[in-house]
Structure 1
Amino acid sequence: MSQQSLAADAATTEAKYPRSIPYIIGNEAAERFSFYGMRSIMVTFLVAQFYSKLYNPTVADAKGNEVVHLFVALAYALPFVGGLVADWFTGKYKIILWISIVYCFGHLCLALFDTNLNGFMVGLLLIAIGAGGIKSCVSANVGDQFDKTNQTLLSKVYGWFYFSINAGSVFSTLLIPPIYKNYGAQWAFGIPGLLMALATIIFFSGRKLYVRVPPGGINKNNFVFISVYALFNIGKKQKGQSLLDVSKGKFNPEKVEGVKAVYRVMAVFMFAPIFWAMWDQNLSEWVLQAEKLDRHINLGFTSFTILAGQVQTANPIFLLSFIPLFTYFIYPFFDKIGLKATPLRRIGAGLALTALSFVIIAFVQISVDAGGHPSVWWQIFAYVVLSAAEVLVSITGLEYAYTQAPKSMKSTMTAIWLLTVSIGNLFDAYVNNSISNHGFFAKYTGSNFYWVFVGICTVFLILYLFISPRLKERNYIDEPDAEFQGNEVIAQTNNL
C-alpha cells in the first residue's frame, strides 16, 4: 500500500466526532422544544385571551402578530450582546449555563400569569433574554469542539445540530396545541418550562467534555473598537484604501483584516432579513390563516381534524426529511454535474423558494377573503417549499457564519447572523403595528399582505443575483493558523 493511501486511511481513522457533541445536541433539542412549544400557541393565546376582547378581529390579529414578532426580534437581537460577553468576559460555557436559569424563570412566569397581560409580558422578556443570551454561543460552541483532525465532519454536525432543533420543534408543536385546548394555558406553558429545565441539566452534565475556548478579554484589536475608530477617522482615509485601512496605524493589521472578513460576510447577510421576515410568519400569520381553513385530514385508512397550531408541525417534519436529502443527495448531485452547490448559490435558491411559498399562501388567502375554506393541504404545500428554502438559507448561513469568521470573532459573527432574524421580525412588527393603527400598511390586508412580501423578496433576490458574484470569501477553518496573510490570499470565488 502506498504512503498516500496510508495517509488517507489515517486521516479517515482520526476523523471522529467529539464526545461532547451528544450533550450539545441533546441540550439544543430540549431547549428548542421549550421555545417552539410556547411559540406554537402564543399568537392564538394572545388574540383569544387578551386582544379579541378589546379590538375587532383584524386589529386583534395584528396586535397578536406584533407582540410575537417583537418578542422574536428581541430574542434574536440579544445574541449579539451574549456573543460579545462570551468572547470578552465569560467564555461560552458559563454564559450558556447561567442564562439558561433566567430562561427557566421566564417559562415559569408564562405559566403563572396566563390571565395577567403584564405578568405574561415579563415572562416573554425573560425568555427573550434567555434565548438571546445563549443562542449565538450554543451554535458557535459546536464549532469549538472541532480541530484539524475532524473538521471534515463539521458540515455534517451542523446538519445534525439543525436536525435536533427541528426534532424538538416537531414534538412540541404536535403536543402543546392539544394540551392548550384540553388542559388550559398553565399546562401548555408549564410543560415547555420543564423541558427548558431538562435542557439546562443536559448541558451541565457534559461539562467535563467540552472544549472551552477562553474569553479573549476586552482589547483594542476587536471588531467593535476597530469599526468605531475607522468610522470616526474617515477623514484620514487615503486614495486606494478601504475605510477600515485607516485603523491599521492604531490597531493590529492582522485584526483589521479579520474585521474586513466579517464585513465581507455581512454583505451576504444583508439579504437574510427578508427571508426571516417571511419565515417567521409561519408561526404567527400562517397560524391565524390556518384557523380559517378546512383542517380535516383524510388519509384513506383514517381521518382526523388538526388544530391550527399543529399545522406548523409540517415545517420541522419536512426539515427532518430535507436535511439528509440535501446534504447527502442534492448537493453531491449538483457537484457531480459541475454545478457546484456553493453557499452563495444555496442562499440565492433559498430566497427564490421563499417567494414561491408566499405566492401559494397569497392564493390560499384569496379564497379565504372570498369566504371560502380551502383545504389545509394547500398551506402544507407552502410549508414544503418554505422548508426547502430554510435548508438552503438558514443551515447554510449558520455554517457560513462560523467558517468565514476569524477565531476571535466566531461568537460575534454567529450573533450577527442571528441579528438578521431580529431585523426581519422588526419589519413584521412594524407592518402589523401599521395595520392595527390604520397606518400605511392598513390597506395591505388579506391576500395583499402576502403579495407585498412576495414583491419585496423578489427585489432582494434580483439585487442578490447582481451582487453575490462580486463577493469575496475566505474559509478560516481551512486556514486556522493564519488569520492574515495579505489581501492576495483572500480567494475570490466565482459563486454564481
Structure 2
Amino acid sequence: TAATSKGKSVSIPSCFGYPLSIFFIIINEFCERFSYYGMRAVLVLYFKYFLQWDDNLSTAIYHTFVALCYLTPILGALIADSWLGKFKTIVSLSIVYTIGQAIMSVSSINDLTDQNRDGSPDNIPVHIALSMIGLILIALGTGGIKPCVSAFGGDQFEEDQDKQRSRFFSIFYLSINAGSLLSTIITPILRAQECGIHSKQRCYPLAFGVPAALMAISLVVFIVGSRMYKKVKPQGNIMVQVSKCIGFAIKNRFRHRSKEFPKREHWLDWASEKYDKRLIAQTKMVLKVLFLYIPLPMFWALFDQQGSRWTLQATTMDGNFGAIQIQPDQMQTVNPILIIIMVPVVDAVIYPLIKKCKINFTPLRKITVGMFLASLAFVAAALVQVQIDKTLPVFPAAGQSQIKIVNLGTDNVAINFPPPLQQVNVKPKGWVIIFFSLFINNLPDAVNITMGETSFGNLLSLSDSDYKLFPGGRTDKITVIRNSTNFSVTSKSLGFGSAYTIIIDECSGGTCNVSYSEDISPNTVHMAWQIPQYFILTCAEVVFSVTGLEFSYSQAPSNMKAVLQAGWLLTVAVGNIIVLIVAGASKLSEQWAEYVLFAALLLAVCIIFAVMAYFYTYVDPNEVEAQLDEEEKKQAKKDMDMYEKQAEADSQM
C-alpha cells in the first residue's frame, strides 16, 4: 500500500518484484527524451536555414537554450518539494512543455503569402518571436521535470527494495538513451522531407511536430498511471528553511567568536538555538553531498564535447563504411547505441563479477572510475587527432593567398608571377594550386547545372560557379540543361573532406564528358578510429551518470530528494560553461593539445574527488530521520513528565 497526495492508502500492484507504476514512469521518460533530443537535433539548422541567422548567432542561441534547460531544474525542484509535490509538478510542467513544442512546430510553418524560393519566411520577426516563446516554455518544462521524474520513480519503492531501486535507475537511464537514439535518427529524416504550400521547403513543422506529439503521449501515459503512484506530500518551503538555517548558523558562529563559548561538533550546530535538530541534520546531509558535487562539472565539460569538438573532428575523417556512408554528425549515435548495449551488461554481468571478487565498488568509487575513463577517452581522441593532422592539407596562413588557374584552351600557356614566384607552365585542361566543389562551363553556350538537389544556376560560356557543399563519400547525378536539352552524367564519388573542380567539356547523346580536378585530397583517417574514444567515454558515462542519479537519491533526506537531483543536473550546466572558459583561455593552436589539456584537468580533478570520496561517510537518511524521531519522542516524554511533576508540585502548594 501507499499514501496518495490526499492521504488515502492505495494498493500498488507489482510486476516481477517491481512496482507496476515505474513502467509508466519509464515510458514517460522515453517519450519525453525522444521529444527533447529530436527537437534539439534540428534546432541549429532551423536557426540557420529557416530564420536565416548566421553561424555565430545560431550557435549562441542554441547553447543558451541548452544551458537554460539545465538551470531550470532548481526551479522545478523547489516547486515539487515546497508546493505541488513531484506528481503535480510533472503534470503541470509537462503541459507547459507540450505547449512549447507545439509553438515551435507552428513557428516553422510558412505563411500562405510566403513564396521565397529558398523556403525562408517573409515575416521573420513573427517566426522568431514564436520560436523564442516556444524554446523558453520547453526549457522551463524539460528542466522543471528533470529532477522530479527520477526522484518520483525512486519514491515508488519500499525501504527493503534497494536492489530493485538500483536496477530501476539503470533502466531509467536506458530509456533516456533509447529515446535519444531513435529521435536523433528519425527527426533529421523528417526535416529533410520537402513540404510547403507555395514553395518547397525543408519540413521543420514535421520535425518539430513529431516531438510535440511524443510529448503529448508522454503526458497522457504518465497521467494514466496516476492511481498506482506512491505520492509523497511536499513538506513546506524547505529550501527557504535550509537557507535561513545556514545563514543563522554562520551569523551566530561569528557573533560568538570569543573563547568563552565552547566549540561545537559541526558549524551548523550553531543554528540549534533557533532551529530543530531534524532540519539541522537534514541540512548537514545535503551540504555533504553538494560539497562532493563541486568537482563533477569537469566530467560534463569533456562528455558534452561529443556534439562539438568530436563532431568537428569527424568532419576531417573518412566516413565510408562500405554500403553505408556515415556523416560526421551521425557519429554521435555511437554513444546511445553503446549505452543501450552496455547498461544491461554492466548491471547484470560486470557489477556481479566485481562483487564476487569481493571488491567493495561503492558509488563514489564508481564515479571516480568514470572520471578517470573520461580522461582516457580524451587521450584517445588526442592520439587520433595527431594522425589526422598528418593528413590535413596545408592552408594559406595570414597574409598568404591561394590561387587556382585552369587552362580551358587547346595550347600550352605560360603565366608569370612577380617575385619570388617563378613562371608556371599550364597544359591544356590542366590546373595549378588547387583549392570545394565548383563547376566550370567549357562549352560555347550558357548552361544550367544541377548536382543532386543542388543548383549551381546558369553558367555563361567559359565561366565558373560558386563552391557548393555536399555530403561526402557519395555520387550524385549531374544534370546539364543546354539549349532546352537535358544531359546527365553520374559524378565520381566525392571523398570526405575533399574539394573538386568539375569541368563540363562536351555534351552530346544525352550525356556529358566531364573532367575532375582534385583540389583537396579526401580524408584518409577513417571515422571508425573514433569508436574507441566513444566506447571509453560511454563506459565512463555508465559508471558515472547512472551511479550519480542513484547516489543523489539514496543520500538525500526524504523532503529534499528532488533538490539534490536538481543539484546533480546543475553540474551539467556548469560543465558546459567550463568548456567555453577553458577553450577561450587556453589559446592552443593544435586541437590535440586542447584534448590533452582537458584530459589533464579532469585527471587532476579526479584525484581531488578521490580524496574527497575517501573521507565521505555514507548515511542512511531513513535511519537518521528515524533516530531523530525517536529522540524527539523521548524529549517530548521527558518534557511531559517534567510538566506533570511541576503541575503536581503546584497542586500540593
TM bucket (normalised to shorter chain) is 0.7 to 0.9
For 1:80, the equivalent position in structure 2 comes to 74
Cα offsets for 1:337-375 (capped at 9, x unmatched): 122111111011100111111222233344555344532
State whether structure 2 residue 412 is matched by structure 1 residue 401: no
Deviation of residue 239 (structure 1)? 2.9
Q: In structure 2, what is the Cα distance between the partners aligned to 1:267 and 1:68?
A: 30
Structure 1 portions without partners, runs of 5+: 1-12, 435-439, 487-496
For 1:3, the equivalent position in structure 2 comes to none
> After alignment, is 83-92 or 242-251 more displaced?
242-251
Residue 94 of structure 1: which of 80, 84, 88 is its match? 88
State whether structure 2 residue 288 is matched by structure 1 residue 264: yes
Cα offsets for 1:414-454 (capped at 9, x unmatched): 1111111121122234456x4xxxxx355456334433322
Q: In structure 2, what is the Cα distance between the partners aligned to 1:449 and 1:41?
A: 28
Residue 175 of structure 1: which of 179, 186, 202 is its match? 186
State whether structure 2 residue 475 is matched by structure 1 residue 481: no
State whether structure 2 residue 29 is matched by structure 1 residue 28: yes
Letter of the structure 1 residue corresponding to residue 135 of structure 2: L
Q: In structure 2, what is the Cα distance between the partners aligned to 1:483 and 1:416?
A: 25
Q: In structure 2, what is the Cα distance between the partners aligned to 1:484 and 1:73?
A: 40
For 1:159, the equivalent position in structure 2 comes to 170
Identity of aligned residues (%): 35
For 2:364, the equivalent position in structure 1 comes to 344
For 1:226, the equivalent position in structure 2 comes to 245
Cα offsets for 1:40-84 (capped at 9, x unmatched): 333455466668x746xxxx4xx6554443322221121111111
Q: In structure 1, what is the Cα distance between the partners aligned to 2:601 and 2:377?
A: 14
TM-score (norm 1): 0.84
Q: How does 1:245-264 map to 2 (within 5 A)?
A: 245-264=269-288
Letter of the structure 2 residue corresponding to residue 106 of structure 1: G
> After alignment, is 175-184 or 16-25 more displaced?
175-184
Q: In structure 2, what is the Cα distance between the partners aligned to 1:85 and 1:315?
A: 33
For 1:282, the equivalent position in structure 2 comes to 306
State whether structure 2 residue 268 is matched by structure 1 residue 244: yes
The answer to whether the 8 Å contact 1:75/1:128 transfers is yes
For 1:145, the equivalent position in structure 2 comes to 156
Q: In structure 2, what is the Cα distance between the partners aligned to 1:483 and 1:346?
A: 31
Distance 1:153 1:146, change over 3 A: same
Residue 234 of structure 2: which of 215, 224, 245 is its match? 215
The answer to whether the 8 Å contact 2:238/2:560 transfers is no
Q: In structure 1, what is the Cα distance between the partners aligned to 2:619 and 2:266?
A: 18
The answer to whether the 8 Å contact 2:552/2:568 transfers is yes
For 2:99, the equivalent position in structure 1 comes to 105
Q: In structure 2, what is the Cα distance between the partners aligned to 1:485 and 1:297?
A: 66
TM-score (norm 2): 0.65
Deviation of residue 273 (structure 1)? 0.6
For 1:414, the equivalent position in structure 2 comes to 565
Q: In structure 2, what is the Cα distance between the partners aligned to 1:207 and 1:263?
A: 33
Q: In structure 2, what is the Cα distance between the partners aligned to 1:445 and 1:403?
A: 43
The answer to whether the 8 Å contact 1:33/1:192 transfers is yes
Deviation of residue 123 (structure 1)? 2.6
Deviation of residue 250 (structure 1)? 0.9
The answer to whether the 8 Å contact 2:250/2:270 transfers is no
> After alignment, is 365-374 or 137-146 more displaced?
365-374
Distance 1:225 1:201, change over 3 A: same
Distance 1:374 1:50, change over 3 A: farther
Greater helix share, structure number: 1
Structure 2 portions without partners, runs of 5+: 1-13, 109-119, 121-126, 195-201, 257-261, 394-522, 632-653
Deviation of residue 220 (structure 1)? 8.8
**1:395 partner SS:** helix
Distance 1:288 1:198, change over 3 A: farther
**1:472 partner SS:** coil
Letter of the structure 1 residue corresponding to residue 363 of structure 2: P
Letter of the structure 1 residue corresponding to residue 301 of structure 2: A
Q: In structure 2, what is the Cα distance between the partners aligned to 1:485 and 1:282?
A: 51
For 2:43, the equivalent position in structure 1 comes to 42
**Aligned length in residues:** 457
> After alignment, is 369-378 or 30-39 more displaced?
369-378
Residue 139 of structure 2: which of 128, 132, 156 is its match? 128
Cα offsets for 1:91-116 (capped at 9, x unmatched): 11111111111112222333334465
Distance 1:234 1:44, change over 3 A: farther
The answer to whether the 8 Å contact 1:40/1:173 transfers is yes
**2:321 partner SS:** strand
For 2:217, the equivalent position in structure 1 comes to 198
Letter of the structure 2 residue corresponding to residue 38 of structure 1: M
For 2:254, the equivalent position in structure 1 comes to 235
Q: In structure 2, what is the Cα distance between the partners aligned to 1:193 and 1:40?
A: 14
Q: In structure 2, what is the Cα distance between the partners aligned to 1:219 and 1:254?
A: 12
Q: In structure 2, what is the Cα distance between the partners aligned to 1:265 and 1:208?
A: 33
Structure whose CA Rg is larger: 2
Cα offsets for 1:395-424 (capped at 9, x unmatched): 101000010011111111111111111211
**1:294 partner SS:** coil
Q: In structure 2, what is the Cα distance between the partners aligned to 1:416 and 1:224?
A: 15
For 2:116, the equivalent position in structure 1 comes to none
Greater strand share, structure number: 2
Distance 1:65 1:376, change over 3 A: farther
The answer to whether the 8 Å contact 1:258/1:483 transfers is no
**1:407 partner SS:** coil
Distance 1:466 1:286, change over 3 A: same
State whether structure 2 residue 598 is matched by structure 1 residue 457: no
Distance 1:182 1:326, change over 3 A: same
